[in-house]
Amino acid sequence: MSEIRPIRWQEGKLLLLDQTRLPVDETTFVVERYEQAVAAIREMRVRGAPAIGVTAAYAVAMAARDIRASDRAEFLSALEQDCVHIRAARPTAVNLGWAVDRMMNVAESVDSAKEIPDRLVAEAEEIHREDEAINRLLGDYGKELMPDGGSVLTHCNTGALATSAFGTALGVIRAGWESGKRFEVFNTETRPWLQGARLTSWEFQKLGIPATLLADSAAGMLMRQGRIGCVITGADRIAANGDTANKIGTYMLAVLARENGIPFYIAAPTSTIDLALPNGDGIEIEQRPPEEVTRYGGVATAPEGVSAVNPAFDVTPHHYIDAIVTERGIASPPYTESLILAVNGGN
């Protein structure tokens, strides 16, 4: 099976598998300027915390390519201005800001303005390469949590489409399956943007992993019936105490899992951990257009004029989370200690 790669850098252009068109059409959205990358992130043509970070890295490199200043200080000032727009594309996933910070640190380490653009392309490519390796490591650690002969439920899309390749929570499921374990897989549709129905189901079919799609509201009944052995999701930002922001509906699944005595896991690279944030109260939750709730595919699914709220994420308190799988191992409570070790490489 050829790996799904939603992001490709080719001859100075960023080629994105347009996720607003899946699963019906597999089309490439071509990005040549950083402004187009910002729009693609905001419009969710590319989405998923790690994928947003990789795309933001290339956006910084493209911004640098268009700056004409020869003076180093002027160049860096202009680049930081462009980075303000890149950082603002979507607020919740920490990976975006993490990638921009890393790119700006590299730019500031270069002595001559004319060398910055090429150096930044190289750094963006390195971030891109690192992400796949990290996901595979994470999957390898996490696969032990997959219940041979049992079942797992996942939410939203955390597969290759949410990263550079392989995925995070879906990568753990894939690694467990490819290690020879056999278990039932369930995935929620994930309203209103339908990442689960449109993207995760598509990825499981590509991987040859049988998976059963369910309405978000059916998850509680399946748990109560004993049909779900564990729940695993991704993350967009993990605070120092383990409070975790993820796709809207995750908190509901975590509370239902605890109520039914089912383990609830998070899978995320350490770049998603924000140790500067003591707890989840300070995580900015992206509010997306109400039309994503009241319409789908250009068709009204609610009466014209109805008001709607559309938070794209929620925060799951750390005490509902049984383990956090990272590329440096599985973190267990107390997360105030285990996440520091994970981020610092065990030291």
Ligand X SMILES: CSC[C@H]1O[C@H](OP(=O)(O)O)[C@H](O)[C@@H]1O
Q: Find the binder of ligand X among 154, 164, 168, 187 (CB under 6 A).
A: 168
Give me the least distance between CB of 94 and ligand X, in Å please.
Answer: 11
Confirm or reject binding of residue 247 to ligand X (CB under 6 A).
yes
How many Cα neighbours within 13 Å face the side chain of 342? 34
Give me the least distance between CB of 118 and ligand X, in Å please.
Answer: 30
Q: Find the binder of ligand X among 55, 154, 158, 270 (CB under 6 A).
A: 158
Confirm or reject binding of residue 237 to ligand X (CB under 6 A).
no
Give me the least distance between CB of 304 and ligand X, in Å please.
Answer: 26
Confirm or reject binding of residue 234 to ligand X (CB under 6 A).
yes
Q: Which residue, 102 or 247, is less far from ligand X as judged by CB?
A: 247
Confirm or reject binding of residue 106 to ligand X (CB under 6 A).
no
Q: Which tokens hold the place of 221? A: 């009944």
Residue nearest to ligand X (CB): 234
Confirm or reject binding of residue 139 to ligand X (CB under 6 A).
no
User: Which is nearest to 128 in space by CA: 83, 163, 168?
Assistant: 163
Q: Which residue, 117 or 192, is less far from ligand X as judged by CB?
A: 192
Confirm or reject binding of residue 171 to ligand X (CB under 6 A).
no
Q: Find the binder of ligand X among 236, 274, 314, 322 (CB under 6 A).
A: 236
Q: Which tokens hold the place of 337? A: 């200690």
Q: Which of residues 254-283 bind ligand X (CB under 6 A)?
A: none
What distance in Å separates the CA atoms of residue 18 and residue 44, rounded to the nearest whole number? 8
- Are 182 and 148 in contact by the 8 Å Cβ rule? The answer is yes
Integer CA distances (angstroms), 70 to 108, 112, 235, in order:
14, 8, 40
Q: Find the binder of ligand X among 151, 154, 201, 246 (CB under 6 A).
A: 246
Active site residue 243: no
Q: How many residues bind ligand X (CB under 6 A)?
A: 16
185-204 footprint of ligand X as x/- string (CB under 6 A): ----------x---------
Candidates 66-74, 100-108, 157-165, 206-214; binding stretch for ligand X (CB under 6 A): 157-165
What distance in Å separates the CA atoms of residue 59 and residue 31, rounded to the nearest whole number? 9
| Residue of 236, 243, 314, 322 with catalytic role | 236
Give me the least distance between CB of 46 and ligand X, in Å please.
Answer: 9
Give me the least distance between CB of 250 and ligand X, in Å please.
Answer: 7
Q: Which residue, 168 or 316, is less far from ligand X as judged by CB?
A: 168
Active site residues: 236
Site of interaction with ligand X (CB under 6 A): 47-50, 156, 158, 162-163, 168, 195, 233-234, 236, 246-247, 312
